[in-house]
Amino acid sequence: MLEIKNLHARIVEEDKPILKGIDLVVPTGEVHAIMGPNGSGKSTLAYILAGRDDYEVTEGDILWNGESIVEMEPDERAAAGVFLAFQYPMEIPGVAGLTFLRTAVNAVRKKRDQDELTTPEFMKLVKQKAGELNIDIEMLKRPVNVGFSGGEKKRSEILQMSMLEPMLCVLDETDSGLDIDALKVVSDGVNALRSPERSMLVITHYQRLLNHIVPDKVHVLAHGKIQRSGGKELALELEKSGYAEFSEKAA
Amino acid sequence: MSVAVMKTKAETSLDEDFQKLRDRLPGGSGVLAVRNAAHQLFAERGLPHRRIEEWKYTDLRNAMKEALPVSIGDETPVTIADLIVALGPFAHVDAQRVVFVNGNFRKELSSVDAQSGVSVESLADKLEASGDADSGLLGEFGEGAPDDDVIVALNTAYSTDGTVVQVEPGAKIEKPLLLVYMRAGREAAFTAVRNVIEVGAGAEAQIIEAFVSLPGAADAGQANAVTRISVADGAKVAHAKCAADHGGQVTHLGNWAVHLGKEAQYDGFQLTQGVSLARHQIFVTFGGENARLDLSGIFLGRNNDHIDTTLVVDHAVPSCESRELFKGVLDDRARGIFQGKIIVKQIAQKTDGKQMSQALLLSPDAEFDSKPELEIFADDVACGHGATCMELDHDLMFYCRSRGIPEDVARVLLIESFIGEAIEKIEDEAVREAFTASAVSWLAAKK
Ligand SMILES: Nc1ncnc2c1ncn2[C@@H]1O[C@H](COP(=O)(O)OP(=O)(O)OP(=O)(O)O)[C@@H](O)[C@H]1O
Ligand SMILES: [Mg+2]
């Protein structure tokens, strides 16, 4: 279970507060969606969950399965089951995708006291998962994300996610840049990971994604706070009304 | 007018060693005359120092305070198993090996296939056998290269051995030729070796020089190595060198003179790691049109390592292409230097030359000095150069760590990513993997 309590955070470099008291609970086994206007702090929240040190938590706490993760390093959080699919996945020239994946998978397995995968075991797994996501294995021999199209990068994030078997999946606009067919493929990949043990936080601007990945709850984040929460019908309502209501509230 | 300066301890001992040992060095009286002349040049000039423009970043006279005793007639016992250990990842390259221990050829450790059109000999054997006919092997540094370089002169005076390779026109060396120069035994020594490689018109060769040390070898060592290589018209050569030692007080003075004929293609690569003081001089002369040069390298330094790469590329004829890419990774108080001079003579129209040097600084005390120089006398040319200094990418670090990769592993991965662009220039996959593995072992060795 993820519990975010009165979370305040700022950008270290600029001394600029972004999150101004977020309260949010995602029970184990549930999928919650976060929507909200551009610049409202959605990616900031996602990065803070993953442990990016450009942000500083100034107040409040983040509990994952009852324990605070605020002081944990990003790789420790990954081992504890936290995964962030980036809104803008990064390119790593000179490091083959397969090498990267294998290094990550085995690092995480080691920390979870699981046996590291041998080369044949790893290859078998990656071929199967890549196949499910329509990713050509040849693409993974190329450097991580280098020269990938926007949609290919997003698929490669979901492949990393399914290889690392996280317990908390945070997806930051995974749907943006995907064509209609790819959206279906990626959503199927995400849905395959849905389980009673796993929690998911899906950040999106579009109700369409939520037709594929049906959320248990929808939250609206604006001006650094959760302004409203509701069922999946809230997404439909936002589709019609936009965020005008929340900008007034803040003014 | 040069003012006579007091000889340093190193200069004095090198001078004395030469007087003592010169009669034991290989070659007849003609060869000795060449050695004497070279020694004379060294005795007059002494070790280069910072007031000489080309040496302003590497004050060798000050840095090399003492000279180790010159190694001659070494017989340190070394087995094939030792050789494999010393070679590290290079042991996996399926190559013909020419092995030297402390500057002396070891036939029993070497494995050279007999191949028609290709001859591979020990320089010492050749100098001894031919009397004075081969004194040119020592006398000339290389066509177009300077004939009064003091470091090369020091090599000429002292060379105990080296490899002489001749590839006849049209021939192709079947397997890569791995020239191994190993430090072994507890005696710290100064070694001087010299390679002369001639690749005939339309011939092909792949040559690797590996300067390595056996675990347990003396903590200190000084090597002076010269390789003269001529690539005749239409010939194709891949030439890579690895100066990989284990950290102690190791000095490496490397010198390459490369001469390229018409339509020749030459790919050169250098890796330096675990060497405390290195100066690599590379002189390339284009002697025929439409030749192609691709030169790259990686230098890895930590602690107080000082690694200097100085190259001069002389476009003396029209329509040639040159590319240089050197990348350094510098930690602690290590210092890297890259000086790249590109000369384009007035007749060398249509020259296409590009040069890049980049350093990744892992510590605030590490330093990289880059001095590119373009001397262009022709008007229809495309030449450019660049130099950058950077730190590990903070965002990429987070990306790796968010995937569970611990900081130390992520660092190695990102440094590999940085040097990868230069290593990828090595065409042969097995050779490329050996160089990669060597560099990675250095990256991972940090406590
Ligand atoms: N490193 C940074 N430096 C300066 N400002 C930043 C930085 N990171 C975030 N911000 C600012 O913080 C605010 C929140 O940004 P964030 O990326 O979290 O928004 P978002 O809700 O994800 O928006 P979008 O829907 O456009 O992706 C924005 O005003 C943004 O400009
Ligand atoms: Mg965002």
Phi, psi of A191 (to 5 degrees): -60, -35
User: Residue B346 region, left (φ>0) first, then alpha (ψ -120 to 50), else beta?
Assistant: alpha
**For residue A155, what pLDDT is reported?**
92
Q: What's A106's domain CATH number?
A: 3.40.50.300
Q: What DSSP state is assigned to residue B17? A: H
Cβ neighbours around B185 below 10 Å, total: 19
| Residue A42 near ligand 1, beta carbon < 6 Å | yes
pLDDT-derived band at B414 (thresholds 50, 70, 90) equals very high
pLDDT at B1 over 60: no
| Distance in Å, CA A46 to ligand 2 centroid | 9
Phi, psi of A173 (to 5 degrees): 50, 45
Quote the strand ranges of B61-185, DSSP E. 96-101, 104-105, 118-122, 163-167, 177-183
pLDDT-derived band at A250 (thresholds 50, 70, 90) equals very low
- CA-wise closest residue to B288 among B317, B312, B321, B265: B317
Q: What percent of chain B has pLDDT over 70?
A: 98
Strand order from edge to edge, sheet including B249-260? B118-122, B163-167, B190-199, B220-231, B249-260, B277-286, B306-315, B335-344, B367-376
Residue in the structure block whose two tokens are 């030169």: B295
pLDDT at A177 over 90: no
pLDDT at A169 over 80: yes
pLDDT-derived band at B2 (thresholds 50, 70, 90) equals low
pLDDT at A249 over 70: no
**For residue B358, what pLDDT is reported?**
97
**For residue B142, what pLDDT is reported?**
87
pLDDT at A207 over 70: yes
Q: Exposed, middle or buried: residue B67 (CB in 10 Å: 0-12, 13-18, 19+)?
A: buried
User: Residue B365 region, left (φ>0) first, then alpha (ψ -120 to 50), else beta?
Assistant: alpha
pLDDT at A13 over 70: yes
Query: How far apart are the C-alpha atoms of A122 and A25, rounded to whole Å?
Result: 35
Q: Which residues surround ligand 2, an ion (CB under 5 A)?
A: A 42-43, 87
| Helices B407-423, A97-111: crossing angle, 10 deg rounding | 170
Question: pLDDT tens digit string along B373-394?
Answer: 999 999 999 999 999 999 999 9
Which sign, positive or negative, has the C-alpha torsion B47, B182, B259, B142? positive
Quote the strand ranges of B331-429, DSSP E. 335-344, 352-361, 367-376, 382-390
Average pLDDT over residues B75-86: 96
Query: How far apart are the C-alpha atoms of A35 and B79, rounded to whole Å?
Result: 69
Any idea of the CA torsion for B86, B87, B91, B95, to the nearest 10 degrees? Answer: -130
Question: pLDDT tens digit string along A212-227?
Answer: 999 999 999 999 999 9
Query: How far apart are the C-alpha atoms of B16 and B61, rounded to whole Å?
Result: 17
Q: Which residues pair with B274 in a beta bridge?
A: none
Q: CA angle, corner A75, sides to A69 and A78, nearest 5?
A: 70
- CA-wise closest residue to B141 among B159, B123, B153: B153
Q: Is A152 helix (H, G, I), strand (E, B) or coil?
A: helix
pLDDT-derived band at A251 (thresholds 50, 70, 90) equals very low
Whether the Cβ atoms of residue B297 and residue B338 lie closer than 8 Å to each other: no
Whether the Cβ atoms of residue B314 and residue B345 lie closer than 8 Å to each other: yes
Q: Is B131 helix (H, G, I), strand (E, B) or coil?
A: coil
- CA-wise closest residue to B342 among B271, B289, B286, B262: B286
Q: Between residues A66 and B6, which one has the greater pLDDT?
A: A66
pLDDT at A248 over 80: no
**For residue B280, what pLDDT is reported?**
98
Q: What DSSP state is assigned to residue B15? A: H
Question: pLDDT tens digit string along A56-114?
Answer: 999 999 999 999 999 999 999 999 999 999 999 999 998 999 999 999 999 999 999 99
- CA-wise closest residue to B308 among B326, B293, B325: B326
ipTM of the complex, rounded to two decimals: 0.96
Which residues lie closer than 8 Å to B13 by C-beta, 6 or more apart? B66, B67, B69
**Domain range spanning residue A62?**
2-250
Of the partner residues A52, A79, A105, the one whose CB lies closest to the CB of residue B398: A52
Q: Which of the residue ranges A24-33, A241-250, B173-182, B417-426 would you say has the lowest mean pLDDT?
A: A241-250
- CA-wise closest residue to A169 among A206, A197, A133: A197
Distances (CA, A) of B33 to A151, B27, B39: 71, 10, 10
Residue in the structure block whose two tokens are 């992520």: B410
Decide if B429 touches A, using CB distance below 8 A: no
**For residue B3, what pLDDT is reported?**
52
Give the best residue of B325, B395, B400 to mutate against chain A (max A CB count within 10 A): B400
Query: How far apart are the C-alpha atoms of B282 and B254, rounded to whole Å?
Result: 8
Query: How far apart are the C-alpha atoms of A67 and B113, rounded to whole Å?
Result: 67
Average pLDDT over residues B114-124: 95
Decide if A233 touches B, using CB distance below 8 A: no
Average pLDDT over residues B342-346: 97
Contacts of A51 in chain B (CB under 8 A): 398, 401-402
Of the partner residues A53, A54, A111, the one whose CB lies closest to the CB of residue B404: A111
| Residue A11 near ligand 1, beta carbon < 6 Å | yes
Query: How far apart are the C-alpha atoms of A78 and B399, rounded to whole Å?
Result: 11
pLDDT at B248 over 90: no
| Distance in Å, CA A105 to ligand 1 centroid | 30
Decide if B437 touches A, using CB distance below 8 A: no
**How many domains, chain A?**
1
Whether the Cβ atoms of residue B319 and residue B290 lie closer than 8 Å to each other: yes
- CA-wise closest residue to B418 among B340, B362, B348: B362
| Distance in Å, CA A86 to ligand 2 centroid | 9
**For residue B447, what pLDDT is reported?**
61
pLDDT at B6 over 90: no
Contacts of A99 in chain B (CB under 8 A): 413
Atom of ligand 1 nearest to the CA of A87: 27
Query: How far apart are the C-alpha atoms of A144 and A149, rounded to whole Å?
Result: 12
Token couple for B399 = 């990306």
Contacts of A74 in chain B (CB under 8 A): 398, 401-402
Quote the strand ranges of B123-176, DSSP E. 163-167
Helix (H) or strand (E) holding B242: strand B236-244
Question: pLDDT tens digit string along B152-187?
Answer: 999 999 999 999 999 999 999 999 999 999 999 999
Domain boundaries of chain B, sorted by first residue: 9-392
**For residue A244, what pLDDT is reported?**
85
Cβ neighbours around A133 below 10 Å, total: 19
Decide if A74 touches B, using CB distance below 8 A: yes
Establish how many alpha carbons lie within 13 A of residue A102's alpha carbon, considering only the half-sphere containing its beta carbon.
Answer: 16
| Distance in Å, CA B107 to ligand 2 centroid | 66
Distances (CA, A) of A229 to A34, A175, A233, B424: 9, 21, 11, 52
Query: How far apart are the C-alpha atoms of B251 and B223, rounded to whole Å?
Result: 6
Q: What percent of chain B has pLDDT over 90?
A: 92
